Amino acid sequence: MLSRGPGRWAIAIPMALLALATLYPLLFTLNVSQKTRREYVLDRLGLTDRLSLDNFVAAWQTSGLNTYVLNSTIVTVGAVVALLVLGSMAGFAFSQLRFRGSRVLLLLILSALLIPFQVIMVPFFRILGGIGLLDTHLGLILAYTSQFLPFTIFLMTSYYSRIPGEIVEAARVDGSSTLGIYLRLMLPLGRPALLSVGILNALFCWNDVLIALLTMQSQDNRTLMVGVTALRGQYSDNIPLFASGVVIAALPVLLLYLFFQKQITDGVTAGATKG
């Protein structure tokens, strides 16, 4: 085994190199974002010793990123709230309450995990148009909610099913209604799972480009990731400004990762080890 001796280090070195390879494109982009246009044309690889926010300010002011950030924030917050409310209600009912058809309904919802958005894109576009929600924040919120709800319910159901049924029984004996149990018992007990699944859903919504491209067509309604796809054309002759825009767009996710890494990895692995 590996536990002692030089063998560990022989493996640690390639692992470190791989870590460097993972970070390099990101550090490269950060480095480029600090260069002037002239500096970049003369030397693409070299480290710059400049440290300034000029490019960030310029990119922020000229690219419309501020509008895109606002749009992304609105739809992400809206969708995450809807997902947590609907997901925790359903997860509680499926895991703790007995009612006719619960198993069938749960399987119906989980089977939607096999329907990626690409498969239903055309009809979805028409449905959203039919109810007048194309190119609106509410429409995109609805799209994200429907897209990520099965996954949310899967995680909330499996989390709540680990809570002993006696707790719910005891609350009922004490005279709590089902709604009371949900609000005063299940929501507080579910906090770790809600935090984890909320952050994951926030990432999904924030990072999406396909659904946002399809449903948000006017420039004023673009989300941040759709805006990033347009940056390259905007700054085709000024790569440092382009890189600055990319760094700005990546920053919120970087912060989220630094603070909530454990919740994120717990969330993505929660479904994997149940089998």
Partner 1 sequence: MPVLLVAPAVLVVVALRIVPLVMGANYSLTGDGADNGAFVGLANYRTLLDDPVFRTALRNVGLLLVALPVAVSVPGILATFLFLRVPGHRLYRSVYFFPVVLSPVIIGAIFNVVLSFDGPANQLLVRLGMQPVDWLGDGSIAMLTVIAVHIWATFGMALVIFMAGFATVDQSLLDAARVDGANLPQTVWHVIIPELSQTIQFVFVTTMIGMLTGMFGLLYIMTAGGPGGATYLPELYIWVQQGQMNRPALASAASMVLFVFMLVVGFAQLRIIKRATKEV
CA gap 44, 246 in Å, rounded? 17
d(CA 233, CA 223): 17
CB of 150 to partner 1, least distance (A): 6
Span of 47-55, 60-68, 100-108, 166-174 interacting with partner 1 by CB under 8 A? 100-108
Tokens of 237: 């002759």
DSSP codes of every residue in 67-78: HHHHHHHHHHHH
Site for partner 1 in 22-41 (CB under 8 A): 22-23, 25-26, 28-29, 32
Q: Counting contacts by CB under 8 A, is residue 17 touching partner 1?
A: no
Binding mask 205-224 for partner 1 (x = CB under 8 A): -xxxxx--xx----------
**The pair of three-digit structure tokens given for residue 100, joined into one six-digit string:** 């006719």
Which range, of 47-55, 61-69, 157-165, 166-174, touches partner 1 by CB under 8 A?
Answer: 157-165
- Check if the beta carbon of residue 212 is closer than 8 Å to that of residue 229: no
Report the distance separating Cα 200 and Cα 213, nearest Å: 21
Residue 19 touches partner 1, criterion: CB under 8 A? yes
Q: Which of the residues 236 through 275 are near partner 1 (CB under 8 A)?
A: 239, 242-243, 246, 249-250, 253, 256-257, 261, 264-265, 268-269, 271-275
- Of the candidate spans 20-28, 54-62, 164-172, 187-195, the one that interacts with partner 1 by CB under 8 A turns out to be 20-28
CB 71 within 8 A of CB 223: yes
| CB-based contact 68:224 (threshold 8 Å) | yes
List 36, 67, 178, 234, residue binding partner 1 (CB under 8 A)? 178
